Amino acid sequence: MDTRIEYDKTNPSSIEAYAQKLIGKTFRNVWEEDEAQQRSDILAEESEEYVSSDDVENKKNKGNLGQIIEENFFHYACNSDSRPDFYEAGVELKVTPYKINKNGSISAKERLILTMIDYFAVVNENFETSHFWTKSKLILLIYYLYQQEIKYKLDYKIKYSRLFTPPEQDIAIIRHDYDIIVNKIKAGKAHELSEGDTLYLGAATKASSSKDRREQPYSSELAKPRAFAFKSSYMTYVLNTYIVPGKQTYEPIVANGFVDSFEDYVVGKINKYRGCTVDYLCKEFQIDVSKKPKNLEAMLAYRILGIKGNHAEEFEKANVVVKTIRIGKNGKIKESMSFPNFKFKELIQEDWENSTFGNYLRETRFLFVVYKADAENILHLMGCQFWNIPYEDLEVEVRNVWERTKKVIADGLEIEVDSRGNNHTNLPKQKESRVSHVRPHGRNAKDMYELPDGRLFPKQCFWLNNTYIYSQIKDELKVDQF
């Protein structure tokens, strides 16, 4: 037995209590204090093997922070055992970063990778006894503060160390997410998996190269390697609710008890008011329209769901974005759907697999709340649906628009100014793709970003075409209910 071990490896509480000694230390401190491991093979102080090369620091040794905690603090050998790290106690160790945002709030820096998905094995497992759940139902979370200005990862400071198991209401959603992922694999569609398919648990890409592919059991199509992962939005909620004391939490939609399907529950609650006018709903939920509240139609959806503010616990955990859609009395949607502005210089440095816009669509699930105008132009609630962009639409249509945008900017944006002072460019236009296009989205014409060649140009963003959004709405939400 290792005489350095100061905890009971069969007792989760003992493991957690010992882990509290990490708080306030850097990873360098942990390694230096472990005298018996001063010359270990994990790293050598300021050697080219770990900290003197940015390339080695950021790429070759990615993941070594967890290895330092395992070998230099808990004193057990790092291994690829399929069991939890502290298997006698059923505890899995995860070392994960968080960041402080510009507004002072804190959030998880990334999703929490749990286990690789073995496409051939997972189709024969059930949730309760699955490899994933065995390693995920009790986790020792070691949170460290990511700071961009710190050069070496060894110098990141550990701030929190807590045991975490998802609460029962979350487990119901995680189980449902797991079934969605596995059922897609069983349908021979592992290559079409997307984090937008699910709420808390995602199927995250996990490969050393964007070209990596592996076989799947029910299709000859090769699929990207993926891992079960708690989404970054869920980990942000975990951090703020269960790890950091005293943080404000959001209102839950399901306040008491459990539901078989969270999404069905949400759709059912909103659809009870199908056909009601906006004026009626404002009176029903006591919203003062004289103050002309922003996003009134979205506010009404939250009130119907029992949320007093504009943040619902489950939506925050799942990165669900509420989008209200207005269908005019002519049966068309007037507005296309906008997304955050992109910076020209940053976009041309990205690749599609890790692009800001591509990842946003991959990882986001939307709740479309649909309203339709009658002959007198009075808006009625038609209902709602959860939606994420289909795989082919994203990886073919949107990708083409994104790649063309990048090339146009990199090659030098062509700008013509007409007699009225309006700009005309060679950026992708709505008529060129059935799904997406690029156009301005700033406060005004003077709201600009710098182009790679130094010219200033009005801010732009990617849009999903209004005709495309209409095509994605379920037929029953287009049919008059009044």
Inside any domain, residue 219: yes
Does residue 78 sit in the same domain as residue 106?
yes
Strand order through the sheet with 106-108: 106-108, 92-100, 139-145, 157-164
What is the DSSP code (8-state) at residue 429? P
If you average pLDDT over residues 128-146, what whole number do you get? 95
Phi, psi of 478 (to 5 degrees): -100, -20
- As for how many domains the chain has, the answer is 2
Question: What's the pLDDT tens digit per position in 451-470?
Answer: 999 999 999 999 999 999 99
Does residue 198 sit in the same domain as residue 266?
no
Helix, strand or coil, per DSSP, at residue 67: helix
User: Two tokens at 315?
Assistant: 């939506």
The enclosing domain of 23 has a CATH number of: 3.40.600.10
What are the C-alpha distances in Å from 425 to residues 131, 181, 417, 439? 52, 42, 9, 9
Whole-number mean pLDDT of the chain? 89
Q: What is the pLDDT of residue 48?
A: 34
Of 243, 276, 308, which residue constitutes the final position of a domain?
243
Inside any domain, residue 354: yes
Of 210, 243, 276, which residue constitutes the final position of a domain?
243
Question: Among residues 12, 189, 36, 149, which one has the least CA distance to residue 86?
Answer: 12
Angle between helices 262-271 and 168-186 (to 10 degrees): 100
Say what percent of the chain tops pLDDT 70.
91
Phi, psi of 144 (to 5 degrees): -120, 155
If you average pLDDT over residues 80-109, what whole number do you get? 90
Question: What's the pLDDT tens digit per position in 39-82?
Answer: 544 444 433 333 333 433 443 344 589 999 998 999 887 666 67
Q: Which are the contacts of 366, defined by CB distance < 8 A and separation ≥ 6?
A: 320, 321, 322, 323, 386, 387, 388
Domain that holds residue 108: 12-243
Residue 17 or 210, more confident: 17
Inside any domain, residue 304: yes
User: Two tokens at 152?
Assistant: 């070496």
Does residue 239 sit in the same domain as residue 269?
no
Inside any domain, residue 426: no
Question: Among residues 154, 126, 160, 158, which one has the least CA distance to residue 140?
Answer: 160
Query: Is residue 314 within 8 Å of residue 254, measured between CB atoms?
Result: yes
Helix, strand or coil, per DSSP, at residue 228: strand
Q: What is the pLDDT of residue 38?
A: 52
Span of 210-214, 256-260, 304-308, 402-406 with lowest mean pLDDT: 256-260
Question: What's the pLDDT tens digit per position in 329-351?
Answer: 999 999 999 999 999 999 999 99
Does residue 124 sit in the same domain as residue 191?
yes
Q: What is the pLDDT of residue 135?
A: 93
Does residue 230 sit in the same domain as residue 267?
no
Does residue 232 sit in the same domain as residue 271?
no
What whole-number distance in Å separates Cα of residue 258 and Cα of residue 168?
Answer: 8
Span of 92-101, 196-205, 241-250 with lowest mean pLDDT: 241-250
Taking CA 263 as the corner, what is the angle to CA 233 and CA 322, rounded to the nearest 5 degrees?
55
In terms of Cβ atoms closer than 10 Å to its own Cβ (0-12, 13-18, 19+), residue 332 is exposed
Which string of b and e fits 442-458 if b means at least 16 CB within 10 Å?
A: eeeeeebbebeeeeebb
Report the DSSP pairing between strands 337-338 and 460-464: antiparallel
Phi, psi of 416 (to 5 degrees): -120, 135
Does residue 356 sit in the same domain as residue 216?
no
Q: What is the pLDDT of residue 3?
A: 59
Of 209, 243, 277, which residue constitutes the final position of a domain?
243
Does residue 139 sit in the same domain as residue 71?
yes
Q: What is the pLDDT of residue 275?
A: 95
What whole-number distance in Å separates Cα of residue 253 and Cα of residue 315?
Answer: 9
Inside any domain, residue 409: no
Inside any domain, residue 252: no
What is the DSSP code (8-state) at residue 212? -
Q: What is the pLDDT of residue 247?
A: 62
Show the DSSP H helices in 305-339 as ranges.
313-318
Say what percent of the chain tops pLDDT 90.
75
Q: What is the pLDDT of residue 288?
A: 85
Q: What is the pLDDT of residue 46?
A: 39
Does residue 270 sit in the same domain as residue 160?
no
Question: Among residues 345, 461, 458, 473, which one has the least CA distance to residue 402?
Answer: 461
Q: What is the pLDDT of residue 220?
A: 97
If you average pLDDT over residues 285-299, what whole number do you get? 85
